[in-house]
Structure 1
Amino acid sequence: MEERTNNTTKAVDVGKTGVMAQPAQSAEAQAAVDEIMKKYDRESNTRQWKGVPDIVIKAALAVFSLFMIYMNLFAVWDERIRRPLFVGIVILFIFILFPAGKNHKAAQKVNYIPFYDVILALIGSGSFFYFVINNREIINHATRINQTEIILGVIGIVVLAECCRRVTGIPIVVVASLFVIYAFTTGASLRKIVYNLFYTTTGVIGTPIGVCSTYIVLFIIFGAFLEATGISDFFIQCANALAGSATGGPAKVSVISSALCGMVSGSSVGNTVTTGSVTIPMMKDTGFPGDFAGAVEAASSTGGQIMPPIMGAAAFLMAEMIGVRYSDIVVRAILPAILYFTGIFLMVHLRAKRLGLKGIPKENLPKWKDLLPRIYLLIPLVALIYLICAGYTMSRAAIIATVLCIVVSMFDKNHRMSPKDIFNALVTGAKNTLSIAAACGIAGIIAGVVTMTGLGQVFISAIVGVSHGNLLIALFLTMICCIILGMGVPTTATYIIMATTCAPILTTGMGLNALSANMFVFYFGIVADITPPVALAAYAGSAIAKADPMKTAVNATRLAIGAFLVPYIFSLNPAMLLINTNGIGVVMIVITSFIGMFAISAALEGYTIRPINMVTRIICAVAGLMMLYPGTVTDIIGIVIIAAIIGMEIVQGKGPRKAEKAA
């Protein structure tokens, strides 16, 4: 379910009345959506294959998906065989499917792959296949690898880096290159670096690729099958029925539907484009400014990655990497995620009130009586979560849930999976695996350098030294590192990089508990998608809204204020993660946190029950922060301040005023 479960985006035509039509769109509209995907989502920039070559490649991708299911269900192979074999196959497919660049001449030709890509594919994958074939001999060599093995290791690493550049972009490759350069500056020899990064399970074929080839690939395949059941359309329809008629309804629909769809898809950019092609025109038709509409969609889609119970597959990874139960991750991530979306929801509501915007007429919205019979679409998701909590391995649970997707599709004639649909889902699952696998391989390089050179300790010492042991300063510096390292990186790879490089700063260096530290770095790695200058999700939203990209990114950052505040709160006081607290404490945290988020939203939007001035906005912000920080004294002070402000606004009365015009 990682990284966009369907490469072909489906949108819903929305008329001026806000009525949602059939899930289809004109060729021109589809072409526009596809163009946006190609611009902001590198996975959409694929070669043009037609006819027999296209069929052969798709068949190979489907076989790859089936092979991964077999390998995880039945094969009992050494990890040093499974992992390089997986990477080698991924490299072959990347060069077959992805050109050197979207504007490259070779990308415009049909059924064509340049000779140099064939060479790179063969030598790159061949390096990993050589390791698979000569596994025992190389392991026996240990650090005494020969010249041929050094050359093959260098080729494998360089070609993998090129693969990653093609499917995810250059930022993560640059970061990994800087880490490798650092390894050389420590005096490490080429032999030592190649051995550690290529031939051991602490480098390219380390934990990230191990997790990717064992868990992530199966969740991606599951996501492709889940998408084929029509669940995204179901989520959007439910969101419309729930909030479409409310003040500023279309924007609230965007928040709800993007949270649900983004949770499953695991792609900020992909979800922004797929659901945004529906919700952004609706928001603009209602009267929201384009840059605000694009920002709502981008912030909500990005927030889907932190939404339990799936969290874009990061929940499963976090449970594996820090050694806690999956159910613990889900339960403790609920309140922070709800606060994040509450912040967006409140700001949308206050902006709509300030602009005097209405919702969609109820007669134009889906009816619950028509939607509830389709609730069976949730069975695969519910089963997945239940099976994992019941003790099934994540791999087996994902495969069972995938089979259930096929079963539930049989109850809907519009989404009933035929053999062709099953084939296409297998193809989509394999294709969507490629970018994650390449990014995880490069993440392994970063982790390998950290392990080999002791760079983690250098990071820890540097941050602790600069912060002088002050946790708040250390959190701020770690946040900056996370946003930089998370630029343009897929969700699962982002978390792996953060968990390897940044989380130890907070756990070992500052004594933070592992769950708080991992949640903190994950949140800030994710918000890189909406934080300028590399705010890909926000830029994609601006393209659909035909708005200024930077204004959209700034608005998205404001809307996502919860993602910038909540991690600090649960790091300074883990009670928000339901750690070291009781039932009464949880109730108080929920109440005060929601009031605090309202105060901060009012401060940012300049509106409570009527417009408020700058001084009142500042006071609201201070009171909101006090309420968000779990503590009796701060809660009391915050409640008194907010109550006083609301009381004064009521006494003064709303007064005659005109709704602001949308910019």
Structure 2
Amino acid sequence: MSKETQQPDSKLQEVLEKYDNESRFRTFSSKPITLIVSALAITLSLYHLYTSYFGTPVTLIHRSLHVAVVLGLIFLLYPASRKLRRDKLHWYDAVLALMAFSTTIYIMFEHTAIYMRGGMPNQWDLLFGGILVVLVLEGARRVTGWALPVLAATFLLYGLFGRQFSGIFRHRGYLWEDIVNFMYVTTEGVYGTAIGVSATYIFLFILFGAFLAKSGMGQLFNDLALAIAGQSRGGPAKVAVISSGFLGSINGAAVANVVTTGSFTIPLMKRVGYNREFAGAVEASASVGGQILPPIMGAAAFIMAEVLGVPYRDIAIAALLPALLFYLGVIVQIHLRATKDGLQGISRENLPRVMEVLKERGHLLIPLFFLIFMLFFTGKTIIYSAFLTILVTVAVAMLRQTTRLGLKDILEALENGARSVVPVAIACACVGLIVGVATLTGFGLKLANGIVLLGGESLFLTLVFTMIACIVLGMGLPSIPTYIITATMAAPALVAIGIEPLVAHLFVFYFGIFANITPPVALASFAAAGISGGDQMKTGFMSMKLSIAGFIVPYIFVYNSSLLLINTTLLEGLMVTATSIVGVVMLGTAAEGYFLTRINTLLRVVLFGGALLFMNPNILQDILGFSIVLLTIFIQWRKARREGGINQPTLNRSKEAVAEA
């Protein structure tokens, strides 16, 4: 890639900080403070590695220690305001960090007495519990922005003043002492399931991702994607889909993924002829889609397994086909847009060879295969499997000089892993406040009843209202807390009308994730627009168009759970796969309005309707759907012949320009 196509580091950092609060951390001018922060982060990583193998202490102590260190890192790393200097530590942030540690120190010394009191808090419980609640809200504000802490504060107020409400959302109301006690000395509030998952699965898999990144996995994905798809029509866009999908599945951070991979792929897409909005939308869609792609799904698969009490393997298998259909829908539109506009790929001489890439870095795929083997075939726990996979990653990286990790690299990976966990962990702690109030007041069940009431006896309307609720709840939030919130608030509505829990949870997870590309708060799309120079809202709506399969597929697997390969025979699985593939291709074709030549509006509507016929497949609907496909092919073939053949490229790029890209 030429220097002209590269985004300056300062510009990328500016974009990242604008749309991703997590990146606005301090870089200290003081070496001692830098060493203290590094030592704290490395110690946290080593502690979690130790407990993953030898076992954790008492649950309340383990989770409180996790939260305390995370809060300490937040107040050391993140300033209270954007306007404050980032090269020095303010005295009050050091005090807040010490206060965070005091909350877990108290639990360490008093946990036996806390259990003996059996829900009857003393003044010290309430003091440290109040400190924890305030620190969690402030920590979440600094790292994730205002959306999540404001939502949590609203729920706390609801817990206090719910008796003032009328209708189904009225409850008896709780005293501040009751709420603080519930949040602090039980495993239902701040130290609930969300932070429990953060202190186990999430930490280890983010740490795994940090070691992969340090060994050069990102470069491997980019090079492989270039080698596989770079030469095809509109190749750079397909490269973006492949590389961003894989990386997004591992790191689970859509905005950060957009900036890191988009700095490479977006300029390439623009160079070969894609407009700014389309280039940004491709990167945003692919990055967000990575979070629904097994095996890791940005760690959501492990949380879902924990919440539902089902094996991880069942989650991964169920999520695989819908995720692949989502990416198929994106690829179809990319290819049709490139064909319609006559865009070319990158010349072969400027691309790496697959075998050369595999020879240089292919061994880095071994840890991924090892992880899949451990999770699917050994029966070992997820935590133990993650621990061994991290060790295997370090060992495999040693096989070649270019990927070998020295002591400094290992320490940096340990530090980077802990720092990457901070945003997810504080979001989980803040979500604990929301889920705690919802549990205490029964709000989740009441919201579910409200959704069911709005939907009436219509399954479709209930799904639509649930989708809207999930998108609203997911706006501006990271993927992990988004799933936890939607699983608590929205999924029960679907379970209440008879939908299987796994199907319901995947449905709400999809739409909570897609809030990142749904205007008006589409952070992933806005970040991509910041790199491409395109219009933010246009990029957001283009992202939705590219992701149309992702908005339709959840409806398909609700109406026909065979798409999730649940309780289905091989023949049924093959049939639903085939019809779904045809339906997704039809969706992409209708959205792009091109096949052999441009498709008129009426036929696009018919084609879109034909794709929807596959939502609830049966023989008659399948026959009608395939008839529409054949009719479309015939009409477009005749039209192309009348126009003198299939449209020729309307936009030519010289070999030199493509080579420069």
Query: TM-score, normalising length from structure 2?
Result: 0.93
* Contact kept in structure 2, 1:576 and 1:630, CA below 8 Å: no
Answer yes or no: is 1:383 the counterpart of 2:362.
no
Structure-2 separation of matches of 1:294 and 1:14: 19
Shift in Å, 1:145:
1.1
Cα distance in 2 for partners of 1:239, 1:525 equals 28
Please, which moves more after superposition, 490-499 or 530-539?
Answer: 490-499
User: 1:365 maps to what in 2?
Assistant: 351
8 Å contact kept, 2:445–2:489? no
- Counterpart of 2:83 in structure 1 is 104
State the number of aligned residues: 636
**Residue 164 in 1 paired to residue 140 in 2?**
yes
Residue of 323, 326, 339 corresponding to 2:312: 326
Indicate whether 1:462 and 2:450 are aligned.
yes
For the residue of structure 1 that corresponds to 2:595, the secondary structure is coil
Structure 1, 308-317 or 626-635: larger mean CA deviation:
626-635
The aligned counterpart of 1:298 is 284
Deviation, 1:15, is 6.4
User: What is the CA-CA distance between 1:661 and the residue it aligns to?
Assistant: 6.2
Deviation of the 1:121 alpha carbon: 2.3
- What CA distance in whole angstroms lies between the structure 1 residues aligned with 2:260 and 2:463? 34
Counterpart amino acid of residue 176 in structure 2: L
Aligned to 1:43: 22
Aligned-partner residue type, residue 284 of structure 2: A
1:144 alignment partner, SS class: coil
RMSD value, Cα: 1.7
* Residue equivalent to 2:300: 314
Quote how far apart the aligned CAs of 1:14 are: 4.4
- How do residues 562-577 of structure 1 correspond to structure 2 at under 5 angstroms? 562-577=549-564
d(CA) in 2 for partners of 1:650, 1:579: 39
Whole-Å Cα distance in 2 between the matches of residues 579 and 515 of structure 1? Answer: 10
Which of 26, 30, 39 lines up with 1:59 in the alignment?
Answer: 39
1:9 matched residue in structure 2: none
C-alpha deviations, 1:155-204, integer Å up to 9, x for none?
21111111011111221112222221211123211121111122111100
Q: Which amino acid aligns with 1:312?
A: G
Instruction: Point out where structure 2 has 5 or more consecutive residues left out of the alignment.
Output: 163-170, 653-661
Residue matched to 2:383: 395
Q: Quote the offset at 1:249 in angstroms.
A: 0.8
Aligned to 1:4: none
Match of 1:482 among 470, 484, 496: 470
For 1:404, the aligned partner's letter is V
Alignment of 1:88 onto 2:76: no
1:31 aligns with 2:7: no
Contact 2:61–2:104 at 8 Å: present in 1 too? no
SS for the counterpart of 2:598 is coil
Alpha-carbon offset, residue 59 of structure 1: 2.1
Partners of 1:38 and 1:317 lie apart in 2 by 28
1:191 partnered with 2:181: no
Contact 2:559 2:615 in 1 (8 A): no
CA distances 1:267-295 after superposition (whole Å, capped 9, x unpaired):
11111111111110000000000110000
Say whether residues 1:77 and 2:63 are aligned partners: no
1:580-624 Cα shifts (integer Å, max 9, x gaps):
322222222122111111111111111111101110110110011
State the identity as a percent.
41
Q: CA deviation at 1:115?
A: 2.4
| Segment drifting more, 210-219 vs 371-380 | 371-380
Equivalent of residue 122 in structure 2, options 137, 141, 146: 146
SS in structure 2 at match of 1:292: helix
> Aligned partners of 1:245 and 1:87: how far apart in 2?
48
Q: Is the 8 A contact 1:125 1:156 kept in 2?
A: no
In the other structure, the counterpart of 1:638 is 625
**Separation in structure 2 between the aligned mates of residue 367 and residue 71 of structure 1, nearest angstrom:** 42
Deviation at 1:415? 2.2
**CA distance in 2 between partners of 1:563 and 1:252 (Å):** 17
Amino acid at match of 2:18: K
What per-residue deviation string (whole Å, max 9, x for no partner) do you get for residues 634-657 of structure 1?
Answer: 111111011111111112325245
Q: Alpha-carbon deviations, 1:340-368, whole Å to 9, x = none?
A: 00110000011111111111111111112
Q: CA deviation at 1:433?
A: 1.0
Match of 2:165 in 1: none
In 2, the alpha carbon distance for the partners of 1:206 and 1:167 equals 20
For the 8 Å contact 1:524–1:564, the answer to whether it is kept is yes
CA–CA separation in structure 1 for the residues paired with 2:386 and 2:580: 35
Unaligned runs of 5+ in 1: 1-12, 19-24
Q: Which stretch shows the higher mean deviation, 203-212 or 408-417?
A: 408-417
Q: 1:493 aligns with which of 481, 486, 491?
A: 481
Aligned residues of 2:364 and 2:396 also touching (Cα < 8 A): yes
Structure 2 distance, partners of 1:171, 1:403, is 37
Whole-Å separation in 2 of the counterparts to 1:443 and 1:490: 11
* From 172, 179, 189, the counterpart of 2:155: 179
**Structure 1 residue runs of 4 or more that deviate by more than 6 Å after TM superposition:** none
**Do structure 1's residue 448 and structure 2's residue 436 form an aligned pair?**
yes
Q: Does 1:601 align with 2:588?
A: yes
Checking the alignment, whether the CA contact within 8 Å between 2:45 and 2:414 is kept in structure 1 is yes
Q: Counterpart in 1 of 2:110?
A: 134
Q: How does 1:241-640 map to 2 (within 5 A)?
A: 241-373=227-359, 374-389=361-376, 390-507=378-495, 509-640=496-627
Distance 1:471 1:287 in 2: 43
Superposed displacement of residue 627, structure 1: 2.6
Q: Which amino acid aligns with 2:437?
A: V
1-side partners of 2:316 and 2:600: how far apart? Answer: 40
How many angstroms apart in 2 are the aligned matches of 1:74 and 1:251? 45
The residue aligned with 2:168 is none
Contact 1:346 1:601 in 2 (8 A): yes
Task: Provide the residue aligned with 2:201 in structure 1.
Answer: 215
Greater mean alpha carbon deviation, residues 608-617 or residues 180-189: 180-189
Per-residue deviation at 1:125?
3.3
The Cα shift of 1:500 comes to 1.9
1:235 is aligned to 221
CA contact (8 A) 1:106 1:114 kept: no
**Equivalent residue number for residue 125 of structure 1:** 101
AA paired with 2:146? Answer: I
TM-score (norm 1): 0.93
